[in-house]
Amino acid sequence: MKKYLSLLLVVSMMLMLAPAVLAEGIYTPGTYEGSAAGASGTVTLAVTFDENSIVSIEVVSQTETTDMIDKVFSQVPQAIIDAQSTEVDGLTGATITSKAISKAVEMAAALARGEDPAAAAAGEEAAAEKAEIEIPEAAAPAAEAGLGVDYADTIAWDLTYDVVVAGYGAGGATAAIAASDAGASVLLLEKAPKGEEGGNSKFAGQDVMGPTDYDKGLAYYKALRGLFTTSVSDSMLETFVREAVANPQYLQDLGAKYDEFWIKAWPEFPEFEGSDSIYTWIVGGQSFQGTLYKLLQDNVASRDIDVLYEAPAQHLIQDPFTKVVLGVQFEKDGRKVNARAKNGVVLATGGFEANTEMIQNYLQQPYVYVVAARYNTGDGIKMAQEVGADLWHMSNSAGFTWGFMAPGAQTAVRSLTLTNGIIVGPTGQRFMDETTSLRHGKMNYGGRWVSMITPLPAYFVCDQNGIKAAPLSRSWSEGNAEEIEKGWIVKADTIEELATKIGVDPAVLTATLEKYNGFCDAGEDLQYGRPAEKLVKVSEGPFYAMEIGPCMLNTQGGPKRNEQAQILDVNGNPIPHLYSTGEMGAVFADMYNGGGNLGECVAFGRIAGTNAAAPKAE
């Protein structure tokens, strides 16, 4: 796996050198695959050449989340074929994905010319990017443990910095930038391989919360807190909102241009007081294109911040007597490395979306489908627990929504069209209005917004009219024909046969559909109140079913923090020199509004980095 990822990195560097105008008469006819990093993952294309030209471009795989996915993967490849050049205009709103398509085609063209991508890129990576630091040979402790000896001197430190930040998402990046700007030397540790860093931050819509009015914004976020007033204090919300109001100016200070922001009114709970102040700010005006994360990466790169990839933080090193956190132990190339943090450690390792055991323990879900951050396994939460941290609202999350996980896939397909049929649970019965409007995974249940109810396994069931009405996912085939052929969607001539194939009671599923179709005929759903105009009969065979499951956007719980971003112990006292930011212990105890997590990453990232950088007396 590491060799494969390394090759992709080298290939990506080669693409910068490939000729933009594709030369004639030098291709070996055939089909070649090219890959490049997009906004949300790797884009892989199959490009067919004759001796002189590009004949066709087909998508092999991609995980892009732009709302313009269909347009970008049809228009950009066609433009390249028409121009016989990768120097074509990208699609506005999908610039990064457009560039990835061009780069993937350039890679395929290089292969068609018989070139060795790895050889072509040799030496270029070091010239283009700051090399990772070399970790010296293991050091000996400065002193042996004994009376009057400082505990820090008994540790064999391999590296020494003022601040160590664990996690290179938006929160970690912001904290590292703030610490560096405060004059600290900074080490930034990232668990993922280079090119896969970023956690949820890179894959998110890039909305950064920035209320236009402090008082109104505070009223709104108090309403979002609901009845969880003992979990998150007024002063914590005051700190968050005050910093969130300052977020737009901070992004401009980092280089974002005001006239390129997409300033979006986005109160997900418009009925709440203060909702007219709720705006999110999207750098570069492009949603789901990683623009905020790219801005932060550029700022990290422009500072004297050391970054190590494939270097997961594993333990905090704490003085057992004073409880001061002295540094971090991480792993690099199979070696345990001790990094001294003289002034502070910032944990920004994200949530536990990809840790099934924690999902089961804290969210009461047997499993969830990971949408983006497959490296978010709760590492920082466990590290904080080891040194006595308290936890808060571990059961809350920005989820769930329905998704599909293809066999062998690492991340789920989240944007599904499930309105042309019904959803049933393991008993073969309906359990919800399938068209209900969700607010970041929350549904209105008896007057309270709670996480969507998900009896598992669950299945989407429709008839031939439903399957032909629209692709179940935006990037799927017409009539879902290819997905049926792959076996992702089960087909049967009768309801009874379909029930048997998916493992539910045929009599129950038959009765469920008879009752539902009766509601359609009557124009009223007496079970779950599905609107009359959205009632679609499921009555004409053949019939289809697809297993669906709960997609996890991100968890919200983690170590409890205070207004200074200090992590607190079980008695409410700050653990000396330990800070956090981001979704690893976010301020959202109940309801959530889009842009809040990235807004918190940037807001509490500034607080955590600045405070961690301050010299300490301990």
C-alpha–C-alpha distance, residues 103 and 95, integer Å = 12
For residues 559 and 496, state if they share a domain: no
Q: Is there a contact between 357 and 174 (Cβ–Cβ < 8 Å)? A: no
pLDDT of residue 120: 43
Structure tokens at 575: 């653990």
Is the confidence at residue 432, as pLDDT, over 70? yes
Q: Tell me the per-residue pLDDT of 471-524, one tens digit each, with 9 for 90 and over.
A: 999 889 999 999 999 999 999 999 999 999 999 999 999 999 999 999 999 999
Closest among 202, 189, 195 to 306, alpha carbons compared: 189
Q: Of 113-127, 378-392, 448-462, where does mean pLDDT reach its minimum?
A: 113-127
C-alpha–C-alpha distance, residues 474 and 495, integer Å = 27
pLDDT band at 65 (very low <50, low <70, confident <90, very high): low
In a domain? residue 486: yes
In a domain? residue 371: yes
pLDDT of residue 67: 54
C-alpha–C-alpha distance, residues 161 and 306, integer Å = 10
Q: Of 130-134, 338-342, 586-590, where does mean pLDDT reach its minimum?
A: 130-134
pLDDT of residue 1: 39
Q: Which residue has the higher pLDDT, 83 or 80?
A: 80
DSSP code per residue over 361-380: HHH--S--EE-S-TT-SSHH
Is the confidence at residue 16, as pLDDT, over 50? no
Mean pLDDT of 583-599: 97
In a domain? residue 377: yes
For residues 172 and 314, state if they share a domain: yes
The boundaries of the domain holding residue 108 are 2-125
For residues 321 and 182, state if they share a domain: yes
For residues 439 and 578, state if they share a domain: no
Domain of 432: which CATH number? 3.90.700.10
Q: Tell me the per-residue pLDDT of 18-63, one tens digit each, with 9 for 90 and over.
A: 445 555 568 888 898 888 877 666 788 999 988 888 999 988 878 6
Helix (H, G, I), strand (E, B) or coil at 256: coil
Q: Tell me the per-residue pLDDT of 518-548, one tens digit each, with 9 for 90 and over.
A: 999 999 999 999 999 999 999 999 999 999 9
For residues 163 and 300, state if they share a domain: yes
Q: Which residue has the higher pLDDT, 249 or 408?
A: 249
Is the confidence at residue 439, as pLDDT, over 60? yes
pLDDT of residue 39: 66
C-alpha–C-alpha distance, residues 499 and 543, integer Å = 10
In a domain? residue 230: no
In a domain? residue 336: yes
Domain of 180: which CATH number? 3.50.50.60
For residues 577 and 521, state if they share a domain: no
For residues 180 and 311, state if they share a domain: yes
Domain of 95: which CATH number? 3.90.1010.20
Count of positions (residues) in the chain? 618
DSSP code per residue over 468-484: HHS-SBTTSPGGGHHHH
pLDDT band at 608 (very low <50, low <70, confident <90, very high): very high
For residues 559 and 546, state if they share a domain: no
In a domain? residue 139: no
Is the confidence at residue 127, as pLDDT, over 60? no
Helix (H, G, I), strand (E, B) or coil at 568: strand
pLDDT band at 9 (very low <50, low <70, confident <90, very high): very low
In a domain? residue 409: yes
For residues 173 and 317, state if they share a domain: yes
- In what side-by-side order are the strands of the sheet with 54-61? 30-37, 42-49, 54-61
Structure tokens at 541: 């065979």
Closest among 102, 301, 242 to 603, alpha carbons compared: 242
pLDDT band at 92 (very low <50, low <70, confident <90, very high): low
Q: Is there a contact between 286 and 206 (Cβ–Cβ < 8 Å)? A: yes
Half-sphere exposure of 41 (CA within 13 A, CB side): 17
Q: Which residue has the higher pLDDT, 40 or 574?
A: 574
For residues 97 and 20, state if they share a domain: yes
Single-letter amino acid code for the residue at 328:
V
Q: Tell me the per-residue pLDDT of 338-354, one tens digit each, with 9 for 90 and over.
A: 999 999 999 999 999 99
Mean pLDDT of 432-439: 94
For residues 544 and 467, state if they share a domain: yes
pLDDT of residue 136: 87
